[in-house]
Amino acid sequence: MPDIEGTDMVSSLPDWARRIHEAHGSPSLDNLQDVFHGPLSERRAGLRKDDLLEIMIDSRALPSDTDNIVNGMLLGTTRNAVEIMDSEGVFRSIARDVIVEVRLLAHMRLPYLEDKEMMKFEKEDMRLRSIMQEKAEQMADGSRENNLWG
């Protein structure tokens, strides 16, 4: 994250990050910083959904005339990839194997355990997944009845 002691966090962001920040509703960034020191229960660090990032990619994995820095907003992560919306608004899934460094420019959400909107989203997502799982099981049970031995 940029050194923001005594400066406005938003003004320290590059232009592409400022555009994403504004498109995201210009959330206040002042109280969203990582906390590295103090009691363990008060520390907050790590990547969060919607973070503004710079990702350095191993240049050996790219064509020779390609910039190895990708800027964007974190959408999510998987076991094998980091998914972002880049500074041009394009979805990109970048293999973890080729990532050299991830630089955090700014958090745009609260830490996970304090983010009520995220918890509400995940609760609803789990409910929908449960409903889909039940439907899939019902469909599978129905197809098995036609193949019973007996």
Give the three-class secondary structure for 107. Answer: coil
Instruction: Extract the tokens encoding 85.
Output: 């919306």
142, pLDDT greater than 70? no
* Per-residue model confidence as pLDDT tens digits over 34-85: 777 888 777 777 888 888 999 999 999 999 888 999 999 999 999 999 999 9
Distances (CA, A) of 80 to 59, 73, 97: 19, 18, 8
Q: How many angstroms separate the CA atoms of 18 and 35, rounded?
A: 23
Place 6 in a pLDDT band, splitting at 50, 70 and 90.
very low
Q: How many angstroms separate the CA atoms of 52 and 104, rounded?
A: 6
* Whether 18 contacts 10, CB under 8 Å: yes
* Per-residue model confidence as pLDDT tens digits over 84-132: 999 999 999 999 999 999 998 888 887 777 888 888 988 998 999 999 9
